[in-house]
Structure 1
């Protein structure tokens, strides 16, 4: 991505895409439609993003994951997960359209990468990998496994209409990460 920080144009373009996606599949939304709705010209879009998929990634990073960094760095997993899921629930129409995207630019792939980064940064993957004591079981593989699991459950929640309350889904995630297995692994680090 060209720019990981937020500025006014990025925010306006993001809001434009989200509003358009509430009524139209993302793959059918054109850059012209995004810029017209945002009140900017096409070159402005391309000064900030390569394409609408990079804009989708910007939205995911800046609206879901960047705000929870302070929570995760302070061990506040429940609050971080609650924030992410609540944000998705508030933008339900957008995220329902986003999960319909398929391929390498899919929301699932973008979300999975973001989750993997968070898992690698905040979980003791070295201890998790050492528990099994296999040379092929590296931290990256453990992070990918956890990220795919979390992403899959979240995508299913969105696909099924977000009917499970945020509190219940958050509780499931927290219990998974605080299971006795994780506690044993975490104690190895100390």
Structure 2
């Protein structure tokens, strides 16, 4: 029974992804997704309440699940790299997904998922903050890094998609390891 359930979810997801490559998200109906998966419309609702929940499932299953597994075995950098690799694998779909805006935007769904990853890292390793700035809360740090990573992903895929995942990962790690002041050449040592 679990195998059949997983197969049906997979077929619904694949149908959705194929439709996203052909139609704007707003034009895709539950009936279209069900038809593409070879199931009746009511079957869709046995798995997802709407296409936004299916989009969330896509992010969790196809992008984040591998990253979470790597976190579990203390491979944090590899987890971040895995996100880039998984996004590159489905580049055409992800580009279309970034067109989904509004309350349930793809950007928001991806930010939330990446935020969960950063929360897991912080819970596992704690924070090493040598400042007593009240703004440096766990929530604000997670938001800052989540939004930063999603912005880097969006810029990469929408404007520089010829750059491979490995190079983009290296670029991201370099930028995260250096402040903007470190990158400037303004002749003053801080």
- Residue pair 2:70, 2:79 contacting (<8 A) in 1 also: yes
TM-score scaled to structure 2, two decimals? 0.82
Q: Name stretches of at least 5 consecutive residues in structure 1 with no aligned partner.
A: 1-5, 181-190
For residue 7 of structure 1, give the secondary structure of its aligned residue in structure 2: helix
Q: Name stretches of at least 5 consecutive residues in structure 2 with no aligned partner.
A: 180-190
- Which of 171-180 and 79-88 deviates more? 171-180
Aligned equivalents of 1:89 and 1:160: distance in 2?
13
2:105 counterpart residue number: 106
Aligned equivalents of 1:161 and 1:52: distance in 2?
28
User: Post-superposition shift, 1:137?
Assistant: 2.7
Larger Rg: 2
Aligned equivalents of 2:83 and 2:114: distance in 1?
11
1:183 counterpart residue number: none
Structure 1 pair 137/80, CA: closer, same or farther in 2 (3 Å)? closer
TM-score scaled to structure 1, two decimals? 0.82
Alignment: residue pair count: 174
User: Post-superposition shift, 1:23?
Assistant: 1.5
User: Post-superposition shift, 1:117?
Assistant: 0.6
For residue 171 of structure 2, give the secondary structure of its aligned residue in structure 1: helix
Q: Which has the higher contact order (CA 8 A, sep 6+)?
A: 1
Runs of 4+ in 1 over 6 A off after TM superposition: none
1:3 counterpart residue number: none
User: Post-superposition shift, 1:126?
Assistant: 5.0
Structure 1 pair 54/111, CA: closer, same or farther in 2 (3 Å)? same
User: Post-superposition shift, 1:174?
Assistant: 2.8
- Residue pair 1:119, 1:147 contacting (<8 A) in 2 also: yes
For residue 58 of structure 2, give the secondary structure of its aligned residue in structure 1: helix
- Which of 147-156 and 131-140 deviates more? 131-140
